[in-house]
Structure formats: structure tokens, C-alpha cells
Amino acid sequence: MSTENTAPAAPSNFIKAIIEDDLKTDKWGGRVHTRFPPEPNGYLHIGHAKSICLNFGVARDYGGKCNLRFDDTNPLKEDVEYVDSIQEDVRWLGFDWDGRCFYASDYFERIFECAVALIRKGLAYVDSLSAEDIRAYRGTLKEPGRNSPYRDRSIEENLDLFMRMRAGEFPDGAHVLRAKIDMKSPNVVMRDPTLYRIRHAAHHRTGDAWRIYPMYDFTHCLSDSFEGITHSICTLEFENNRELYDWVLDALGMYHPRQYEFARLNMTGVVLSKRKLIKLVEEGVVDGWDDPRMPTICGFRRKGFTPESIRDFCERIGVARSNNLVDYALLEHCLREDLNARAPRVMGVLKPLKLTIVNYPEDQTEEFEFPFHPENEAMGSRKLPFCRDLYIERTDFLENAPKKWFRLAPGMEVRLRYAYYVRCVEVVKDASGEVVEVRCEYDPATKGGWSNDGRKVKGTLHWLSARHAVPAEFRLFEHLFLTGGAAANVDDPEAAAASLNPNSLETLRGFVEPGLADAEPGWRCQFERTGYFVADTKLTRPGAPVFNRTTGLRDSFAKELQKG
């Protein structure tokens, strides 16, 4: 399935331990069958990727299956747009449900029958309390609840009412179907949980066929059971719901998968709450779900991340039961490791500064060979034009250089990558004192960017011929929030505004080498010395490329400077 030559030994985790143990004891007849069960009410984010990699990953590793199942029981929040995006993202991540894409809504009739069976067993009843009363009767975390006055309706009456609920005879909220369990249970989930509610709403798949919709707790265990799931893996917040999961299946005497919970992913610098992400989209704080600043799968995709790097990340963070906060730097590390090996090296100048070679013939042009990957000859090379008028990076020149500076400065000599050594002989400034051009002399004996005379030239600069470079736009991204991660407050408008990073998107107008004029949308590369980039899939046009910075290169010099 994947290459294992570079991958470190996969860390074991408790889910795998359970599966291996089950395989050993033949608990499920040798089967491993998981499922990834998103609700189609938003786009998938990096936290979902952890769950996807876990569920599809163990199925793959142990010769089992993993279903994609949409948990679509709440027509008010769900939409086909989300269904489509979820399928696209799971596929992009590299997983295949092998035709087993299911919907909880496909089971509505069977689920309804289960509810009827529960009523017949005297284990469910129609409650006619208002929502507020139900809440009041439920008690508190420390105090037991009380029985609803409708709890002892006869089976016949319950059946009649439930059928009429289905028939649409009652308005929303008039009745609910509840499991008859224990209003004094220390586990609040078990205090006669709601199984069905009335919702006169069109469902994105079943249309107007239903006026009642089953709740998550009732739907999920039954769906798992219908599909023959063996290991039902979910996140920690469903731990309390496991008791109900088991109760429903036992009450009905049905095939009974086991639920296991793991800790969801938290990461520095990003918000991973669906509710908050929706808000960012709806309020126009970002461009949409696939804004490169979003921690969504499609956001990372548009930013230039590879599915391989995300899978590697999910492998490395491990799966455990303790709350965690993973450093964003780990994701970046996985990305760089992948891109370093695959991304062709090309030239781009983000913040151009004119460099004129005063002793180079005015009308002369020559070409130099540039390999696409210095460490991988197989990736080939191309020639780039050189002339008297060049662009270099503005940040590569400093009039008053600090101690360890080995880029360009007055009197200093640097190497222009694969071309010549040049020495700065003059600085041209505009009226405001800003440097607008540096003038240099080149050494013809250093053609190709090398000299055998033992001269030590520590700095190597990337450059572009000003006469041949093509204009390009570069988009640099930073975290959306200053305060970082889970702490970001999206609900309080003032706090949200204060925590928003005003520089999360910076657009630069620079130049790229001629061959990149018609860069294919989605094409990834490394602009030497600056970072990994991808041609934006929405904004790039033939002759007018737009590049998103996927991530910068590691920069030990920046650290050096900070230290002073």
C-alpha cells in the first residue's frame, strides 16, 4: 500500500492492541470491520483525518474493511454539499470505502422497526412533556431525575401515538419517543434518553418521507449493528454514551459491536471545532472552507499539503486516551520531509530588488543550467537566462550588515546561484532613502558560480533575469489566530476580533522563472531558499500564476538574528 523504507516503526496504540487480542481469541471470527461516521454538517478537518487514518488504517493493516457512513439524522443541519466534500476529502487522503458508502438515513425504516420493538417490550414510551419540562425532570449531575407523568402509558397507547407521530399528526416538539431506563441513573445519558423527535423538515436524502427522526444514540449503535461492525471507534466525549449503546443493542438482542474511545486531536495555532469553523466561513473571516488558512482537509490541500504528509502526521501523533495538544511544527515537519524529496527546485523572487551588473555587456545574454533537484539528478534540469539586469530578493541585501551576515552588502561578494560571483560596488536610493537598486561587478572567471582559487564566498543568492522574469503573485499565510488553538474565542465578537491575526494573509507581487508562466493549478515546487509553494487551484491563470506558500524552509539564520 505504501512505502515503508523511510517510515519509522509505526507506534503501537491501544486500539491495535485490542484488535490483535481479538484476533488472537477469535472474538469476531477473524473479522475487523470499522467505519468512519461523519455527520454531513461541515467540512472535514485535520482532526477528522486522525479518525480516518485510524479507522481505514486498522482495517487495511489487519485485512479488514472500513465503511464510510454518513450519520445524517438531523435534517436541519445537514446538506449534500457536505456529503460531496467529505467523499472527496476521504478519497484525496488516499482511502477507499470499496463501494461501502452508507447513510444512516438508509436505515430509517429499520430503525423505526427497532423503536416499535422497544415499545412492544415496554422499554420505550412516548413522552408529551415540553422540552423544558423534560430538562427539569432530568435532574442535575448531582441529583437524580424524576419520572415523567407519561412514563407509564400503555404499550397500545405508545404504539398509537408513535404511529401518529410518524404520520405527521403532531407539530414539532409535541411528543418524543424515549427509552424507559432509569431516571435515577448516575449517568445522565441513561435517564430515559430521547430516541425520536418530531421534525417537519425535508431531509437531503429522504425528502419528505419522514416527520420523525431518530437521535444519534439510537441510530449509531443500530447502524453499526446492521453493518456488522466489529470495532466502533469514536472520540472520548462519547464515553458516557457507551452505556446506552450497549443497552439498546442488548434490549433488542442484536449483533453487538464494541465501542472504543480515543482522544481527539488538538493542535496549536488552529481551531478544530466544527461550530467555530462554520462561523469563520459564514462571517467571511476566511474565503471559504478551502481557504488555505483553514485547518480543513480542503484548506490544507489548497495550501499545497500532500495527503502523504497528513497520513504520516496521523501516524506519528499516535492514538491514546489522554487529552493532547500537538505542536503544529510536527505537521510542518512531516510536510517538509515529504516535499523535500519530491518538490522540484525553481527560482522565484517574492520581494524584488534590482541588481545591475555594471561590468556585464549591456546587450549580452547567456544561459545557465539549473538542476530541478540537486540531490536527485533524475529530475532533470533546465536553462535560465542571465543578463546585466537582474532581480534579487530584497531581504538578501542590507546596507549595514550584522556580524554573521553573509548575504549581499556594500563591498561584499556573494555567489549568484549557478551563475557568477558578484561584488556590491554601489547602492542607489530614492528620495526617501529607500534602496531601489544595487550595482555590482561580476567576476567572469567564476562562471557557473564556482572558483577554484580558494576564495570563500559564503552567501549564495537566488536571482532572476529582469528581462525574462514573469510576474507572479505569492500568497503567504500565517495562523488565523494570535492566541492559538483551542483558546481562540470565536463567540465573543470583541475577543474574536482581538485574537484574529491581521497578517494571516500577505500577498506579494514578484517574479518567477519563465518556464512557470503557465504553471498548472495544484503544481508543487520549492522556490529555492524561500519555501514550498503550490500554484493556487482557483486563482492561477495562464501567464499569471499565483502561488500559495505551503510552508517556509527551516530558517536557522532567523533564529541566529533573534538571538542578536
Partner RNA sequence: AGGGGAGUCGCCAAGUUGGCAAGGCAACGGGUUUUGGUCCCGUCAUUCGAGGGUUCGAAUCCUUCCUCCCCUGCCA
Report, as residue numbers or ranges, the catalytic residues: 39, 264, 274
Q: Which is nearer to RNA, 497 or 561 (CB)?
A: 561
Exactly one of 31, 373, 423, 468 binds RNA (CB under 7 A); which one? 373
Q: Which is it for the CA torsion 207, 76, 287, 95, positive or negative?
A: negative
Residues numbered 344 to 363 that lie near RNA (CB under 7 A) are 345
Q: Interacting stretch for RNA, rule CB under 7 A, among 116-124, 384-392, 466-474, 549-557?
A: 549-557
Q: Interacting stretch for RNA, rule CB under 7 A, among 426-434, 476-484, 507-515, 556-564?
A: 556-564
Q: Which is nearer to RNA, 65 or 407 (CB)?
A: 407
* Residue 472-491 contact track with RNA, rule CB under 7 A, x = bound: --------------------
Q: Interacting stretch for RNA, rule CB under 7 A, among 28-36, 250-258, 349-357, 368-376?
A: 368-376
* Residue 280-319 contact track with RNA, rule CB under 7 A, x = bound: ------------------------------------xxxx
- In whole angstroms, what is the distance from residue 550 CA to residue 335 CA? 9
Exactly one of 129, 379, 425, 539 binds RNA (CB under 7 A); which one? 129
CB of 338 to RNA, least distance (A): 11
CA 519 vs CA 225, 290, 478: distances in Å: 49, 20, 24
Q: Which is nearer to RNA, 407 or 479 (CB)?
A: 407
CB of 543 to RNA, least distance (A): 26
CB of 77 to RNA, least distance (A): 6
Q: Is 456 in the site for RNA (CB under 7 A)?
A: no
Tally of residues, the chain: 564
- In whole angstroms, what is the distance from residue 170 CA to residue 310 CA? 48
- In whole angstroms, what is the distance from residue 130 CA to residue 22 CA? 45
Q: 10 Å Cβ neighbour count for 112? A: 18
CB of 109 to RNA, least distance (A): 17
Q: Could you give the residue ranges of the DSSP H alpha helices within 32-107?
A: 46-61, 80-92
Residues numbered 174 to 233 that lie near RNA (CB under 7 A) are 175-176, 186-189, 193-194, 197-198, 213, 215-217, 219-220
Exactly one of 106, 117, 528, 539 binds RNA (CB under 7 A); which one? 528
Using CB under 7 A, count the residues that bind RNA. Answer: 94
What lies within 8 Å, CB to CB, of 510 at 6+ separation is 348, 349, 350, 351, 352, 391, 471, 472, 473, 474
CB of 490 to RNA, least distance (A): 15
Q: Which is nearer to RNA, 293 or 407 (CB)?
A: 407
CB of 396 to RNA, least distance (A): 8
CB of 426 to RNA, least distance (A): 21
Residue written as grid cell 503557465: 518
The end-to-end CA distance of the chain, in Å, is: 48
Q: Which is nearer to RNA, 420 or 481 (CB)?
A: 420
Q: Interacting stretch for RNA, rule CB under 7 A, among 202-210, 383-391, 511-519, 555-563?
A: 555-563
> Please, which residues bridge with residue 36 across strands?
68
Exactly one of 147, 356, 381, 460 binds RNA (CB under 7 A); which one? 460
CB of 284 to RNA, least distance (A): 24
- In whole angstroms, what is the distance from residue 116 CA to residue 218 CA? 13
- In whole angstroms, what is the distance from residue 225 CA to residue 257 CA? 6
CB of 143 to RNA, least distance (A): 5
Q: Which is it for the CA torsion 120, 124, 130, 133, positive or negative?
A: positive
Strands 231-235 and 258-262: parallel
Exactly one of 155, 209, 320, 358 binds RNA (CB under 7 A); which one? 320
DSSP H or E stretch at residue 103: strand 101-103
Q: 10 Å Cβ neighbour count for 468? A: 16
Q: Which is it for the CA torsion 208, 209, 212, 214, positive or negative?
A: negative
Q: Which is nearer to RNA, 521 or 552 (CB)?
A: 552
Q: Is 417 in the site for RNA (CB under 7 A)?
A: yes
Exactly one of 239, 246, 287, 478 binds RNA (CB under 7 A); which one? 239
CA 494 vs CA 268, 274, 275, 276, 490: distances in Å: 22, 21, 18, 15, 9
Q: Interacting stretch for RNA, rule CB under 7 A, among 8-16, 434-442, 505-513, 535-543?
A: 8-16
Exactly one of 2, 130, 365, 503 binds RNA (CB under 7 A); which one? 130
Residues numbered 135 to 174 that lie near RNA (CB under 7 A) are 135, 138-143, 172-173
Q: Which is nearer to RNA, 203 or 291 (CB)?
A: 203
CB of 292 to RNA, least distance (A): 21
Q: Are 485 and 268 in contact (CB under 8 A)?
A: yes
Q: Is 329 in the site for RNA (CB under 7 A)?
A: yes
CA 316 vs CA 9, 13, 331: distances in Å: 10, 11, 9
Exactly one of 459, 514, 515, 521 binds RNA (CB under 7 A); which one? 459
Q: Is 131 in the site for RNA (CB under 7 A)?
A: yes
Residue written as grid cell 558578484: 422
**Burial degree of 17 (CB within 10 A; 0-12, 13-18, 19+):** exposed
**Burial degree of 148 (CB within 10 A; 0-12, 13-18, 19+):** buried
- In whole angstroms, what is the distance from residue 508 CA to residue 376 CA? 30
* Residue 243-282 contact track with RNA, rule CB under 7 A, x = bound: --------------------x-------------------
